[in-house]
Amino acid sequence: MKTVFVTGATGNMGWPLLKRLVGRPDIRLIVLASPKDRKIQHLKEMERKGQLSLVCADVCDRPALDEPVGIADIIIHMAAVVSPAADRLPELAMEVNLNGTRNLLAAIRTMGREASVKLVFIGSVAETGDRRPPLHWGRVGDPVKPARFDTYALSKLRAEREVAESGLRYWVSLRQTGIMHKGLLSVRDGIIFHQPLNNCMEWISDEDSAAMLEHLIDSDLPEVFWRHIYNVGGGQKCRLTYYEFMELLYKNIGIRDIIKVMEPSWFALGNFHGQYYLDSDILEDLLHFRSESPEDFVRRIRRQLPVGIRLSGMFGTSPVKRGMSSISSSKGGSLQWVREKDGDKIDAFYGSIGSLKLIPGWETWIPLRGTREGERIILSHGYDEDKGLEGIDFNDLKEIAAFRGGQLLSEGYDGTLWKKLAWECPVGHRFDASPGLIAHGGHFCPVCDGNWSEYDRISASSPFFRQVYEPLRLNR
């Protein structure tokens, strides 16, 4: 029997996983959930039935983690405050997402499990930030670059660093992409307009995400799987622009033409995350979890939607457009930024108020098609990748540092990929980090990574970072 400890079990990714694991005779399931969790009564009922063991606490409760960590074979760590809640409550997001991960790592050390327990950390596509066309193809190792004002991305970036540098024998970071779940059409928050219409995302369904984790739990994976970062995506069939994805969602509720219920100027021009993956097939080849296309997903959820949403198209487009306008005018929406003259948000998401006002109407707006084909710009990671990570030598590390505008301060390298060395960043910060974190993960300086106010300065000195920053700058 395998003991599985799960955090974040009631989220969009966790709940489908929980339903797969509950009742399996070969799994002892331990779930961590706050007493305030909206599904706590469901979990208590499952515990009464003997389907799981419930720890009524959260990841901020450091002592509560010791006992489950002490007996777990594998930990699935999904607990997080996600956007848009993370935008509203940035301090809480950092406390849960970053410090909660630190607490989990501390519990592993306290219980002496560093060499035995397997830790699966859920990272995020948000860590690499804005990758609009023509830079919409990406892979692990590309520069990390959280978007401005994206506390969730920053918290995940820093937490991933903690995991990768933890010294654990068995850890993995799965950078989750956009999840297709039935709550998407119920979101009434301005965040739905933060994503540009021509933004590219390789989506994955909630059920396929759960299948991925279940198969990971069940598989006897080789040592080389661990101590790596992987991109999670649904593959070729799940690659859509935001416009294409919105079309698909709204047709599912009877809105045949989304241009009748939205305006292009409500949508940001940049500063959101998303990309198509050059390397997401790696995880699929190992875990074989893909089954749903976006079309499959919308067919599945249609019968699960509230009646009012499912029948929206029956009442004509005018009420829907009024509702969408109301969302864009609400806190965090683009119309609210304009009304309140929020220059920082307008600059971040549009470049300037002038650029926002120049956005054309639907009659001249051109949807981006063919993004899944055509030229793929593959970014340089600053060394001869034909060698592979295990083939990196001391001279390669010096080149890697120079390509990032910094330097390697250590005087030697013994070939241990996840053993920390001394570095200096282009701004002058000195820090310790493993070659694996930098060459494989796309991280560099712990102070500068994700520090939006330093992006101009970093780009001026770092050819590595400049690849993803200069071509997509809105405020030139």
Which residues, in sequence order, are bridge partners of residue 5? 30, 75
State pLDDT tens for residues 254-276.
888 889 999 999 999 999 999 99
CATH 3.40.50.720 residue window(s) in the chain:
2-180+202-234+273-292
Q: Which two tokens stand for residue 117?
A: 């327990």
DSSP for 34-80 reads -TT-TTHHHHHHHHHTTS-EEEE--TT-GGGGHHHHHH-SEEEE---
Name the residue with tokens 């599985």.
4
DSSP for 149-186 reads T-HHHHHHHHHHHHHHTS--SEEEEEEE--EE-GGGGG
Q: Which two tokens stand for residue 64?
A: 């509560």
Tell me the three-class secondary structure of 275-342, residue by residue: CEECCCHHHHHHHCCCCCCHHHHHHHHHCCCCHHHHCHHHHCHHHHHHHHHHHHHCCCCHHHHHHCCC
Give pLDDT < 50 ranges for the chain.
Answer: none
Q: Is domain 2-180+202-234+273-292 given the CATH code 3.30.1370.10 in the classification?
A: no
DSSP for 17-29 reads HHHHHTT-TTEEE
The 10 Å Cβ neighbour count of residue 187 is: 11
**Angle (deg, nearest 10), helices 100-110 and 151-164:** 20
Name the residue with tokens 């989220």.
11
Identity of the amino acid at 1: M
- Provide the whole-model pTM: 0.96
pLDDT of residue 199: 96
Please name the residues in contact with 369: beta carbons below 8 A apart, sequence gap of 6 or more: none
pLDDT of residue 302: 80
